[in-house]
Amino acid sequence: MTDSVLCRRDGSTLVITMNRPEVRNAVDGSVASGVAAALDELDEDRSLRVGVLTGAAGTFSAGMDLKAFLAGERPEVPGRGLAGLTESQPRKPLIAAVEGHALAGGCELVLACDIVVAAQDASFGIPEVKRGLIAGSGGLLRLPARIPSGIAVEYALTGRTMPAVEAHRWGLVNRLVGSGEALSGALEIAAEIAANGPLAVRTTKQVIRESKSLPTASAWDRQRELLGVVLASADAREGAAAFVEKRQPHWLGE
């Protein structure tokens, strides 16, 4: 991990903070490698259940560091995309906690997360066209899937910024909170998720992700395959036993 990305644990949640406040947490190579390493830790550590991605000093991220780009640097991880996230999401749930701006690549990082908590005065946008670029780290692929297509097209072509209140109305933001409260709101949701069976949570995310790219019949077949693994797991037996015995379950994650 580098100073450009800070990690801390909050129970079974890993909080990943992009830490370049002097450039509004713009993503350069050090941020990309740091976030990628943190996501690897999230997936590999059995004691971790959920990740939260946020930015330091009251802003999420202004996107790709254009000065680094002009110097020939690409803030991507081969095969994994921008910040090691946009083309290869972690198996475990990832929540975006957004304060201030989430623009360009910053917005694309948000779109790669499973759940979004945002301060009421936050804003989102893919303004790449204003710089002669395109939102090529998932913005043009994911935004029309998250909000009405016509609205997504308008924002993509104009490069206009979307206030968090509007983003919440269109369904891009799951939960609106007061200014400065995005991280605490994200941690509340993370705690709810972490209380559930870890194998079931990972598989639920897997089914949702994979089904988007499969024909309906194939999606049902894949779900049956994954469901069989869950039904045969120790966690499934533990969950049923805990319900019958009126106690809290003790998950093994398998």
| Reported pTM | 0.97
* 110 within domain boundaries: yes
**What pLDDT shows up at residue 55?**
98
Catalytic: which of 87, 128, 166, 192?
128
Angle at the Cα of 201 (from 91 to 224), degrees rounded to 5?
A: 90
How much helix, strand and coil, in percent to the nearest 5, is found in the chain? 45, 20, 35
Residues 149 and 217 in one domain: no
Q: Percent of the chain beyond pLDDT 90?
A: 96
Q: Based on the domain organization, do 186 and 203 belong to the same domain?
A: no
Domain of residue 240: give its range: 198-244
16, 99: one domain: yes
- The rounded Cα 247 to chain-centroid distance in angstroms is 32
CATH code for the domain of 135:
3.90.226.10
- Among candidate residues 76, 99, 108, 181, the one labeled active-site is 108
Which tens digits make up the pLDDT trace of 44-56?
Answer: 999 999 999 999 9
Q: For 67-103, what is each residue's pLDDT tens digit?
A: 998 898 889 999 999 999 999 999 999 999 999 999 9
State the pLDDT confidence band at 250, using cuts at 50, 70 and 90: very high
The tokens of 16 are what? 């990943």
Predicted confidence (pLDDT) per residue in 7-56, tens digit? 999 999 999 999 999 999 999 999 999 999 999 999 999 999 999 999 99
Give yes or no: 108 in active site: yes
Domain count, the chain: 2
